[in-house]
Amino acid sequence: MKLVFATHNLNKLAEVKKIIPNHIELLSLEDIGCTEAIEEYGKTIEENAMIKAAYVYNTYNVNCFADDTGLEVEALENAPGVYSARYAGPQKDTNANMDKVLEELKPHENRSARFKTIIALYTHEGKNLFEGIVDGIITNDKRGDKGFGYDPIFQPDGYSKTFAELTSKEKNNISHRGKAMKKLTDYLK
């Protein structure tokens, strides 16, 4: 089966390629000639995933999936949430986003957080949503040089390392995206 992953994020693409089973031929947006940026104007993570998948499916008539992920920090009323990529501004600067979260958490003792991924699958047979959640805490500082996004400040429950300190295999086994991808691949079997 050929399936397009509707993302221009090369880090996400590389991560998903390590998770997806061999019987699925994973194509990128570039593989189908989609170079335009797909605007994320949804008010929820679910809406953004559906917007991206629907755009690719309707424009290119290909089976595809898209994901959207948000970091939800309890003490910040689940911010940054749907605005995770652009939390510190439209430039989508990863370090600025992490710095803003760390700064806003300084007066709080509660550092509970979770990553939430929603995958929207659009195929000729219909539409489906798959969710993956991992709970953890926000560390006091950045640790590790693997992963991307908020990985250096997110420590999953039951671990003493951040996502950025784990190997990609360790992270994929427990991560929000890994859990959502498992549900997707189980569905596609």
- pLDDT tens, position by position, 146-158: 988 999 999 999 9
Q: Is the pLDDT of residue 18 over 90?
A: no
Q: Does the predicted model carry a pTM greater than 0.75?
A: yes
User: Is 63 assigned to a binding site?
Assistant: no
- How confident is the model at residue 53, as a pLDDT? 97
User: Is 68 assigned to a binding site?
Assistant: yes
Question: Annotated catalytic sites, by residue?
Answer: 68
Size of the chain in residues: 189
Range 2-188: architecture per CATH = Alpha-Beta Complex (3.90)
Q: CA 42 to CA 105: how far, in whole Å?
A: 26
Q: CA 119 to CA 68: how far, in whole Å?
A: 7
Q: Is the pLDDT of residue 9 over 90?
A: no
The fraction of the chain above a pLDDT of 70, given in percent, is: 100
User: Is 12 assigned to a binding site?
Assistant: yes
On whether the CB atoms of residues 70 and 86 are closer than 8 A, the answer is no
User: Is 150 assigned to a binding site?
Assistant: yes
Q: Is the pLDDT of residue 12 over 90?
A: no
Q: What is the pLDDT of residues 94-149, one digit of tens each?
A: 999 999 999 999 999 999 999 999 999 999 999 999 999 999 999 999 999 998 89
Cis peptide before 80 (omega within 30 of 0): yes
